[in-house]
A and B are shown apart, each in its own frame.
Chain A
Amino acid sequence: MREFFERRPELKVITYAGKGGLGKTTCSAATAYWLAIKKGKKCLCFSTDPQASLSDIFERDIFGKGVQSFGPGLYVLEIDADKRIADYQEEIRRRIKEMYGLDEIPKEIDEYIKSAAAEPAMHESATYDAMAELLAKGEYDYYIFDMPPFGHGIRMVSMAFILDAWIDKITEARMEAQKYREAIELLRGTVEMEREDMMLKDLMEIREKLDFFRDVLTDEKRSAFFMVIVPEKMAILDTERALDMFAKLDMRLSGIIVNMVYPVSLLKRPDVGPYLRNRIKMQQKYMDIIWDKFGDYIRAVLPMYDREPKGLEMIARVAEDLFGWSPEGEVWWREQ
Chain B
Amino acid sequence: MAEGPKQEAKAEGKGGVKKALKELIYGMAVHDMVRYALKTRMYLEHLFMLITLGDMLGIPLLPPYYSLRLLPYAVPNIATWKRRLFRERDFTDALY
A interface residues (Cβ-Cβ under 8 A, vs B): 88-89, 92, 95-96, 99-100, 106, 108-109, 112-113, 115-117, 119, 121-122, 125-126, 129, 162-163, 166-167, 169-170, 173-174, 176-177, 180-181, 183-184, 187-188, 195-196, 198-199, 202-203, 206
Contact = CB atoms under 8 A, between A and B. Distances in A.
B63 A166 contact: yes
Given A95-B72, A170-B48, A177 B41 contact: yes
A92 B72 contact: yes
B13 to A, nearest CB: 23
Contact of A203 (B30, B38, B70): B70
B18 to A, nearest CB: 15
Contacts of B52: 170
Nearest to B48: A173
A99 B72 contact: yes
A184 B35 CA distance: 9
Nearest to B40: A180
Contacts of A163: 62-63, 66
Interface string B23-55: 000000010011001101100110110011101
Interface of B: 30, 33-34, 37-38, 40-41, 44-45, 47-48, 51-53, 55-56, 62-73, 75-76, 78
Nearest to A100: B75
A117 B40 CA distance: 32
A336 B75 CA distance: 70
Contacts of A117: 64, 68
A167 B66 contact: yes
Contact of A116 (B34, B45, B64, B72): B64
Contacts of B34: 184, 187-188
A116 B68 contact: yes
User: Dominant SS at the B interface?
Assistant: helix
A256 to B, nearest CB: 31
Contacts of A92: 68-69, 71-72
Contact of B44 (A115, A129, A167, A177): A177
A188 B70 CA distance: 27
Nearest to B29: A187
Contact of A173 (B37, B44, B63, B75): B44
B41 A198 contact: no
B63 A112 contact: no
B69 A202 contact: yes
A112 B71 contact: yes
A17 B76 CA distance: 44
14 contacts: A96-B72, A109-B71, A112-B53, A113-B68, A116-B67, A119-B55, A121-B64, A122-B64, A125-B66, A162-B63, A163-B62, A163-B66, A166-B62, A199-B73
Contacts of A121: 62-65
Contact of A100 (B30, B56, B67, B76): B76
B65 A129 contact: yes
A86 to B, nearest CB: 12
Given A112-B53, A174-B48, A177-B44, A206 B66 contact: yes
